[in-house]
Structure 1
Amino acid sequence: MGIFNYADEEIGQREITMTVASMIIGLGVLTLPRLVASETMSSDGWISILVAGGIALFFGWIVSKLCGRFKRMTFYEYTSLIVTKPVAYVLTLLQAVYFLMFCAYEMRAVASISKQYLFDRTPIEVIALTFLLVVIVAVSGSRVGIIRLCVLFLPIVLFFVIVMLAFSVELFEWENLKPMFITDGKHIYSGARQVIYSMLGYEIVMFYSILMRKPKESTKAIIIGISIPILLYLIIFIIAIGIFTREGTINIMYPAIEIAKEIEIPGQFFERFESVLFIIWIMTLYNTSSIVMDVSVHCLTSAIKKLDKRTCLLILSPIIFLISMFPKDQVEYVYLGTIISIMGIAFAAIIPTSLLIVAAIRGVQSSD
């Protein structure tokens, strides 16, 4: 089967905005309320979300300024101009490893939660392999095609989340939010640290800016793309606390799913709304997994010129599957997530900032 290519292999600000938002809205939607509530007091976790959101916006701006200096260049190409080619080669390969592990982590999340809520008799390996094969189908096609999947799916995801939140208002109790502003700075910081891991994803713009008609428009795209998850996380957290209280939220593994279980839609249109939410959430993780796998392939094929896309997919696919199956229990899975999060901080904040500083000092940029 031949690889389909779009006639228009360019994307604009709207596509990047939706891609960034889709990338960030992933597993964090389900687990964030519990993680933030465990670090903060009462309902003060919203402060941590705003702090982490502000940090993500700042480093997202850094990424956009870096991408804006280089038009129609891959990450490897413009990094080679900023630093030496050997350094650029190493950085690109490390990025490939990071996104490969990210894909494996997301795939394991889909498999584990699908088994828990939908396919309790199906082996987790079968669920993971099926999901991986579907992701490979998306990645084997056009890169712009993956972007347009995000444009297609994100409005659907946001619509159903808004419906869920709207019908949960009647269960909301304002008293559960009190008292307010009782968390000290140390615990606000601890909560923000949990949130910042869920805000990673905007760094993909460094690899998709080559497809943009006007890379300098990436600033507005990233800012809006990050702001959407910030607002969504804020609302979901506050509603979770308002319905379950802080203590209840801490003891619920996936508060967002439990919110969906609690709501009742008139007319019995959806008897189990959590199933609808779960399907919508899988769409989001499908977008995320497709993007990170595509970026990993892109990094390898741009750094290793003799490596073509199909060969790269054949090599990476079993590696991703094996990594996803490596954690034997929830403890090992969380440990894998911690490793990926630490790597993500380096690749989303430290490396882009360093590259931008060096590029500014040396006056390196592409000629328009």
Structure 2
Amino acid sequence: MENQQRNFGTWQLTSIMISSMIGVSILTIPRTSTVLLHQMGWISPILGCLLASLAVAAIVYLGKQFPGTTFVEFMPRIFGTVLGAICVFLFILYQFFNAGITARLFGEVVVTSVLPNTPLEAVIITLLLLVVFLCCHEIEVVARVNELLIPFLLLPSLLIPLVSLMNADWYNLLPFQIESWTNVMKTGLNTYTLYTGYELLMVYFAFAIPGARLGVASMTGMSFALIVYVITVVAGIAVFGYEELQRLVWPTLELIKVTQKTGWFLERFESAFLAIWVASVFTTIGNMLYATIFSLRRLFRKGLRFQQITAIVTMVPLFFLTLVPKNIVELFSFTQQFTTVGLLITIFIPILLAITQFIRNQFNNVREVNNEKGGT
């Protein structure tokens, strides 16, 4: 296996994390967050963040324990060859399917909102070709692309929901009352998926420079995503009310249409927003698929040529995978079922890895102390 330079700084890791987490879900979050919690739906992103933060803390711990190695190397070292190989396979498969779902959601948004006469297949193929091009380069290119595009993501993500609050009816947020704690738990388990993408750090942390602050990068990324999601949900509820949100497929786009009526922006501002949003989705899917294909490269101990061939070959099944749901209702249903699988792979496995490694370290420390006492 070729040795690759570790040259990702703290800001580059932060950019990768933010770009990986903020994507398609920002367009649906006002609706999904208010299904069970109604006017208190703004709590949903906070609950999801708390759950995801446990896994992020575990990944940071693993990154510090195994510097310069990806999950492909350290999972078998922690869990053993067989169980570790199963976990590696599950992680790679999860990222592949997740990228497919995200690509299909992207296609649906573009076709229904901007290009109604364009075939869905054409939109998805165009996106996948761009991702293939990214996957044909070394990993440093991924960091540079994320770093380059992150400014275009940060400002609109915060500005649009804030400006839309000019049309808010604050009574829509009342009363401040939780009707069912069971629904709170269900919503928390569902909305952690807003932050999925953090698990990719089990690949990208391997290329952090020795002085990079993994904890700072992770906390900054999670904090920004949390602020964006909470503001977006608050704006959605305040402007439309939770009942109306359930009737909107892409509620955040409707927020943008309300925003442009204030006179702040040009006509058809949602098209301009989607142009920026395309860059966000590109980095999200690009980071996922790059991590998947690069992991296969590390698994088989191959070089860049293997990665390029794998990227081209895997795009064919991925394209057909995106077309499996017959309509948007099936797509949302499939996404919901996929959430349960993701809970195991992105939450449970990283935490279990960190706990196992921590116990092993404690056991080794006790054994070393005993050996020293025995030697004396």
Fold conserved between structures, TM > 0.5: yes
* Equivalent residues of 1:89, 1:303 under 8 A apart: no
Q: Distance in 1 between matches of 2:87 and 2:223?
A: 28
The letter of the residue matching 1:270 is: L
Q: Which residue of 2 aligns with 1:261?
A: 257
SS in 2 for 1:168: helix
Moved more, 81-90 or 12-21: 81-90
**Equivalence map 1:105-254=2 (5 Å):** 105-214=101-210, 217-254=213-250
Report runs of 4+ in structure 1 exceeding 4 Å deviation.
265-269
Moved more, 179-188 or 128-137: 179-188
Shift in CA distance, 306/143, structure 1 to aligned 2, threshold 3 Å: closer
Query: CA shift at 1:257, angstroms?
Result: 0.3
* Equivalent residues of 1:70, 1:215 under 8 A apart: no
Q: Distance in 2 between matches of 1:292 and 1:299?
A: 11
2:350 maps to 1:356? no
Query: CA shift at 1:39, angstroms?
Result: 1.0
Moved more, 29-38 or 333-342: 333-342
SS in 2 for 1:305: coil
Query: CA shift at 1:88, angstroms?
Result: 2.5
Shift in CA distance, 224/269, structure 1 to aligned 2, threshold 3 Å: closer
**Equivalence map 1:1-368=2 (5 Å):** 10-42=7-39, 44-214=40-210, 217-264=213-260, 269-306=265-302, 308-363=306-361
Q: Distance in 2 between matches of 1:215 and 1:105?
A: 36
* Equivalent residues of 2:51, 2:188 under 8 A apart: no
The letter of the residue matching 2:98 is: F
Query: CA shift at 1:185, angstroms?
Result: 1.0
* Equivalent residues of 1:98, 1:340 under 8 A apart: no
Shift in CA distance, 286/88, structure 1 to aligned 2, threshold 3 Å: same
Write the deviation string for residues 57-109 of structure 1: whole angstroms up to 9, x where unpaired.
22211111111101111222122221222333222222111111111111111
Shift in CA distance, 266/37, structure 1 to aligned 2, threshold 3 Å: closer
Query: CA shift at 1:217, angstroms?
Result: 2.2
Moved more, 337-346 or 235-244: 337-346
Query: CA shift at 1:275, angstroms?
Result: 0.9
Q: Distance in 2 between matches of 1:28 and 1:215?
A: 33
Q: Distance in 2 between matches of 1:140 and 1:255?
A: 36
* Equivalent residues of 1:41, 1:183 under 8 A apart: no
Query: CA shift at 1:166, angstroms?
Result: 3.5
Write the deviation string for residues 280-305 of structure 1: whole angstroms up to 9, x where unpaired.
22111100100010011022111123
Q: Distance in 2 between matches of 1:266 and 1:334?
A: 32
* Equivalent residues of 1:41, 1:182 under 8 A apart: no
Query: CA shift at 1:267, angstroms?
Result: 6.5
SS in 2 for 1:271: coil
* Equivalent residues of 1:93, 1:300 under 8 A apart: no
Shift in CA distance, 69/251, structure 1 to aligned 2, threshold 3 Å: same
Q: Which residue of 1 aligns with 2:365?
A: none
* Equivalent residues of 2:190, 2:339 under 8 A apart: no
Query: CA shift at 1:132, angstroms?
Result: 0.5
Shift in CA distance, 22/319, structure 1 to aligned 2, threshold 3 Å: same
Query: CA shift at 1:26, angstroms?
Result: 1.2
Q: Distance in 1 between matches of 2:179 and 2:38?
A: 5
Structure 1 unaligned residues grouped into runs of 5+:
1-6
The letter of the residue matching 1:22 is: S
The letter of the residue matching 2:233 is: F
Moved more, 348-357 or 188-197: 188-197
Q: Distance in 1 between matches of 2:281 and 2:233?
A: 20
SS in 2 for 1:106: helix
TM-score by length of structure 2 reads 0.89
SS in 1 for 2:42: helix
Moved more, 194-203 or 317-326: 194-203
Query: CA shift at 1:113, angstroms?
Result: 1.2
Q: Percent identity, aligned pairs only?
A: 22
- Pairwise CA RMSD: 2.0
Query: CA shift at 1:191, angstroms?
Result: 2.3
Query: CA shift at 1:9, angstroms?
Result: 5.3
Q: Distance in 2 between matches of 1:261 and 1:18?
A: 28
Q: Which residue of 2 aligns with 1:4?
A: none
Computing the radius of gyration from Cα coordinates, the structure with the larger value is: 2
The letter of the residue matching 1:134 is: L
Q: Distance in 1 between matches of 2:71 and 2:301?
A: 14
